[in-house]
Every structure is written in structure tokens, then in C-alpha cells.
Amino acid sequence: MEQVREMIVKTIITGQPIISHEYKISQPYCLDNSMAFQILGFDILIDSKYKPYLLEVNCSPSFRTDSNLDYHIKKNVIQDAFSMLNFSQERKVEMQE
């Protein structure tokens, strides 16, 4: 898993200038870029010796599920995103007031 983490971090570092540029052109008047976020999908192949290979990175991954495992993984991804955004029913009510 450490090799997978390192691969993901290095890939994000490599793509950071492009991601930052995309945010700036989509929200030009938002100085702190706090109005947008993106979930990236990393497709990684792991061989019989547990060596990971990055196949592709999806900037708009599908959240359709084809199996119970797929559902579990994607549900956790969405829950983690909401958690990082401090998104809750209480915060929603607070922001609407």
C-alpha cells in the first residue's frame, strides 16, 4: 500500500499545476479557490508480486457500482469527501441562515 500511496502522491504533485490552472479559470474571482474540489479516480494494476502500475487517472470517475465491493469503495470515497469538506446537515442549515 505504501507504494500505491507514493504513486498517487507523485502523480498529484505532477498534475498540480494543471489542476490549479483549471480551478483558476473555472472560478476566476475566488481568490482562495475554496469553491471547488475534484475527486480523482486512480486505476492501478497490481501484479502477482504486488507491484503496482498506474494505468490511468480519471478526472471525472464514475460512481456507478457493479458489485458490492464497488459500492462499498465508492460509498466510502463520497463519505470521505463530505467529511473533508466538513459537510453535514447542521452546517447546511447554518450556511442557509
Tell me: the pLDDT tens digits for 76-90? 999 998 888 877 778
Single pTM value for the model? 0.68
So where are the chain's domains?
A: 1-61, 62-97
Identify the pLDDT of residue 5: 95
Handedness of CA 48, 49, 50, 55 (dihedral sign): negative
Q: Which residues contact 43 (CB under 8 A, 6 or more apart)?
A: 54, 55, 56, 57, 58
Confidence grade of residue 42 (pLDDT, cut at 50, 70, 90): very high
In this structure, which amino acid lies at residue 80?
A: D
60: which DSSP letter? S
- Three-state DSSP at 76 gives helix
